[in-house]
Amino acid sequence: MFSQSFDAVMGIVVAINAIMMGIEYQMNEEDASNWQYRLLVLDLVFLTIFTIELAMRLSVLGIKKSLQTPAMLLDMLIVTVGLVTEVILPLYYGTFMQVQDDSNGS
């Protein structure tokens, strides 16, 4: 299938993504507000990497075998949900790459 090196690199990318999600979750509101655009870009970078990885795996395994592999089904679900919620719906609603302005004047 794929080389051990490729799998190791993707494992590191997944770990870095998980760490970044944990940091984002632990941020207080002020820090999160200041970092909102950077975090959005970083989320899209990870989504792009995972989308490319999924496309590469699909091209090697083929659709039929991919649909029979639970790990591939999970990857497909996660990437599809990410693409819909982070790219497709924001493009449809005209909010792609926009961050919420949480300032309320106080």
pLDDT one digit per residue (tens) for the chain, 106 residues: 578 999 999 999 999 999 999 999 998 888 888 899 999 999 999 999 999 999 999 999 999 999 999 999 999 999 999 999 999 999 999 999 998 765 554 4
For helices 29-61 and 70-83, angle between their N-to-C axes, nearest 10 degrees? 130
By the 10 Å C-beta count (0-12 exposed, 13-18 middle, 19+ buried), 57 is classed as: buried
Q: What is the DSSP string of 12-36?
A: HHHHHHHHHHHHHHH--HHHHHHHH
Quote the pTM value. 0.88
